[in-house]
Amino acid sequence: MSLNASSLQRAVEVFRASFGTSPEIVTVAPGRVNLIGEHTDYNEGFVLPIAVDRYLCVAARGRNDRTVKIVAADLNDSDEFGLDNVQRDEEANWRNYPRGVAWVIQQNGIELKGIDAVVASDIPIGAGLSSSAAIEVGFALTFLHFVQVDVPRPTLAQWCQLAEHKFAGVQCGIMDQMIALLGKENHALLLDCRDLSHQLVPLPSGIAFVVADTGVPRTLAASEYNIRRRQCEEAVRWLSETLGRPLKSLRDVTIEELGQVFNEMPEPIRRRARHVVTENNRVLDFQQAMREGALKRAGYLLLASHASLRDDYEVSCRELDAMVNALMSVDGVYGARLTGAGFGGACLAMVREDALARVLEEVPKRYAEELGQNAPEPNLFAVRVSDGAWVESL
Ligand code: GLA
């Protein structure tokens, strides 16, 4: 697949200006939007993301030594490190993604070669489209290209996840890296995060997906994210003890079992558990609804997911709730929910294709009405479902 993304042109131009030659390859990595299944991945549950047509591009050329030079075209910043002793960088967090990926690949016994690279991206940072997975995957495929090693994509996704844990300090799940590597045009990826088994789910025609960025940066995302993760572990410990059998994750609990002990279970872990257990079921129902073209039912499940994230998991915020209301007030919107980690960032909406123009025009006004004075500037755009990452030779 080839494309005409502005990040690709920018990466190539800045490469020529910075290194005085043309790059040999450009690796293209998509952003992602999760249709449903939020905060389930690190609980060994189900997710249903799509890769979207916003791309991060890494233009690169091999070197004959063990030095990595990277220019970040959008940030006016650069990095240089040696492959013999890759360390975290305390100054600029973006540097930890390529560094982390180089570290993890070498930890797995693959000796890398140095590269000159330029990274440029059209994936908005902080909107919840996982620019972080895109930069990890983009550099992982780039590094591997120059040593001609093929790593199975699910394995590579796990390596990228580990790089994020160790170098960027976020205990993220596996969803973002999997979809950035395994996405397919016009399909969602139904992923079982327990064993990484996955299936492509064809998407019905006549619908469009809209990303509605609230304009609120996800400031609490990293710290609160790690707290939620710990609460889920606590819930597993409590449930194992109370149910009298060892549970590995919240995936091992049914709704019925949770219902039996819900009243005795302490707050907030009982609501955290209820979100995860019910969300797993919603993912399975939603993918079935998509296969059947049952769009109203799918829309209802999106709204139920948002309510559960807001009330039980407590990762929404005023602006995300206002955005869902604004979206639902326009005719032709089937459903909407916060997408990604939450605490700001964006909502996803599923809309009738012929209502798209109206949605893009009306929703910003309704959002401003919902929030009154000092409403942040939202950013709405339609996304197309893209392929997972690939390498283009130039
Ligand atoms: C972030 C993480 C993912 C996932 C979502 C919440 O995007 O990177 O692994 O946990 O939050 O569903």
CB distance 41 to ligand 1 below 6 Å? yes
Neighbouring residues of 323: CB distance < 8 A, sequence distance ≥ 6: 212, 214, 336, 347, 363, 367, 370, 378
At residue 36, the pLDDT reads 98
Question: How many CB atoms are located within 10 Å of the residue 165 CB?
Answer: 14
CB distance 31 to ligand 1 below 6 Å? no
Q: Please give the share of the chain, as a percent, with pLDDT higher than 90.
A: 93
Q: Which residues belong to the active site?
A: 176
Q: For 168-183, write each residue's pLDDT tens digit.
A: 988 889 999 999 999 9
Q: For 308-341, write each residue's pLDDT tens digit.
A: 999 999 999 999 999 999 999 999 999 999 999 9
Bond into 268 cis (ω within 30): yes
At residue 220, the pLDDT reads 65
At residue 169, the pLDDT reads 85
Q: How far apart are CA 119 and CA 250, in angstroms?
A: 38
CB distance 176 to ligand 1 below 6 Å? yes
Distance 50 CA to ligand 1 centre (A): 13
Q: How far apart are CA 53 and CA 29, in angstroms?
A: 9
Higher pLDDT, 217 or 238: 238
CB distance 187 to ligand 1 below 6 Å? no
Specify the ligand 1 atom closest to the Cα of 47. Answer: 12
> Which has the closest alpha carbon to 178: 202, 150, 154?
154
Distance 172 CA to ligand 1 centre (A): 6
Side-chain half-sphere of 168: how many Cα atoms within 13 Å? 25
List the structure tokens of 260: 């039996």
CB distance 340 to ligand 1 below 6 Å? yes
- CA-angle at 95, arms to 133 and 104, nearest 5°: 60
Q: How far apart are CA 329 and CA 367, in angstroms?
A: 10
DSSP, res 218: -
Q: For 52-87, write each residue's pLDDT tens digit.
A: 999 999 999 999 999 999 999 999 999 999 999 999
Residue type, 220: L
Q: For 346-370, write each residue's pLDDT tens digit.
A: 999 999 999 999 999 999 999 999 9
> Which has the closest alpha carbon to 96: 54, 68, 60?
68
Distance 178 CA to ligand 1 centre (A): 11
Specify the ligand 1 atom closest to the Cα of 132. Answer: 8
Q: Whose CA is closest to atom 1 on ligand 1?
A: 341
Side-chain half-sphere of 315: how many Cα atoms within 13 Å? 31
Quick check: pTM over 0.85? yes
Q: How far apart are CA 197 and CA 195, in angstroms?
A: 5
- CA-angle at 144, arms to 143 and 149, nearest 5°: 160
Q: For 119-165, write each residue's pLDDT tens digit.
A: 999 998 777 899 999 999 999 999 999 999 999 999 999 999 999 99
Q: Are 220 and 343 in contact (CB under 8 A)?
A: yes
CB distance 35 to ligand 1 below 6 Å? no
CB distance 136 to ligand 1 below 6 Å? no
CB distance 337 to ligand 1 below 6 Å? no
The stretch 240-255 carries a mean pLDDT of 97
Q: Whose CA is closest to atom 3 on ligand 1?
A: 173
> Which has the closest alpha carbon to 94: 59, 141, 131?
131
Residue 3 binned pLDDT confidence (cut-offs 50, 70, 90)? low
At residue 124, the pLDDT reads 85
Q: Whose CA is closest to atom 8 on ligand 1?
A: 172
Average pLDDT, whole number, for the chain?
A: 96
CB distance 345 to ligand 1 below 6 Å? no
Query: Which domains are seen in the chain, by residue range?
Result: 5-37+47-201+387-393 (3.30.230.10), 208-383 (3.30.70.890)
* 1, pLDDT greater than 60: no
Q: Whose CA is closest to atom 9 on ligand 1?
A: 173
List the structure tokens of 160: 């990228």
> Which has the closest alpha carbon to 103: 128, 71, 151, 68?
68
Specify the ligand 1 atom closest to the Cα of 130. Answer: 7
Distance 173 CA to ligand 1 centre (A): 6
Distance 349 CA to ligand 1 centre (A): 18
Distance of CA 323 to CAs 57, 347, 371, Å?
30, 7, 9
Choice from 32, 39, 132 to test ligand 1 binding pocket (greatest atom count within 8 A of CB): 39
